[in-house]
């Protein structure tokens, strides 16, 4: 298919979505299918690299500068998001051409697989929270900054399941040696942004018996939250 796009300025984003079964069954994928998918990906990467160059030329032309271009794409889905200044091409394939939940940046071009996670902060009913969100879950962790007295049971603020469109009854209470679930600490959002393979909120606890971190991680496509201590 051939699409015309009027460019003023923007950031290019290239995403490839690969199903999780690739990891398990990739040995059974026909070689020819992998070669075909890899060829499509390589051609599109080259086209988007050229598109990036054109965008830079248009941007350097000043306000109001524009140019019409044409992209010929036989496979995948193209999306132009003017609100976010992004052009996205997405290909769904079970051929293992890209490592799942990986990301590579080349200038304004972002290339990767399973990149549906966002990490950001917002106010939820007057409570400041860090949000980890993908296509299936929206997880809110209390924002504690600077050092604040808190209990680990206060960290997990809300978990919204998008599949059934309801808030879950999320209860979490973490302690070390049975007696250090409260103290002073803070929370931080690691690598905020969109189009991420995963996002993590880290909580630091300075208690009377131990100092430790709790990491909350949401991965692309996951319907569960991973909680790790250290």
The Cα–Cα gap between 41 and 148 comes to 48
> How far is the C-alpha of 123 from the C-alpha of 44, rounded, in Å?
39
Higher per-residue confidence, 67 vs 191 = 191
Predicted confidence at residue 189, as pLDDT, reads: 98
Question: Residue 167 above 60 pLDDT?
Answer: yes
Asked if residues 60 and 67 have their Cβ atoms less than 8 Å apart, the reply is no
**Cα-based angle 6, 73, 104 (whole degrees, multiple of 5):** 85
pLDDT tens digit string along 55-97?
888 888 877 788 777 777 778 888 888 887 888 888 888 777 7
| 8 Å CB contact between 67 and 56 | no
Residue range 102-156, pLDDT digits in tens: 888 887 888 888 889 999 999 999 999 999 999 999 999 999 999 999 999 999 9
Residue 220 pLDDT exceeds 80: yes
C-alpha gyration radius of the chain: 21
Reported as a single tens digit per residue, the pLDDT across 1-27 is 444 444 444 445 545 444 444 444 445
């Amino acid at each position: 298919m051939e699409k015309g796009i009027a460019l003023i300025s923007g950031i290019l984003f290239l995403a490839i979505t690969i199903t999780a079964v690739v990891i398990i069954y990739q040995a059974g994928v026909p070689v020819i299918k992998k070669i075909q998918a890899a060829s499509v990906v390589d051609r599109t990467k080259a086209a988007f690299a050229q598109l990036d160059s054109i965008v830079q030329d248009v941007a350097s032309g000043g306000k109001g500068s524009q140019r019409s271009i044409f992209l010929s794409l036989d496979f995948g889905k193209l999306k132009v998001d003017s609100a976010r200044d992004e052009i996205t091409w997405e290909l769904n394939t079970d051929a293992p051409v890209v490592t799942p939940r990986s990301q590579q940046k080349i200038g304004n071009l972002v290339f990767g697989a399973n990149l549906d996670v966002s990490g950001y902060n917002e106010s939820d009913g007057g409570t400041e929270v860090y949000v980890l969100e993908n296509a299936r879950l929206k997880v809110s962790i209390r924002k504690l900054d600077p050092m604040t007295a808190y209990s680990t049971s206060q960290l997990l603020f809300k978990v919204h399941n998008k599949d059934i469109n309801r808030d879950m009854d999320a209860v979490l209470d973490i302690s070390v040696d049975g007696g250090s679930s409260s103290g002073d600490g803070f929370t931080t959002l690691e690598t905020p942004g969109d189009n991420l393979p995963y996002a993590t909120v880290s909580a630091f606890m300075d208690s009377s018996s131990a100092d430790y971190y709790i990491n909350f991680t949401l991965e692309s496509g996951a319907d569960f939250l991973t909680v790790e201590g250290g």
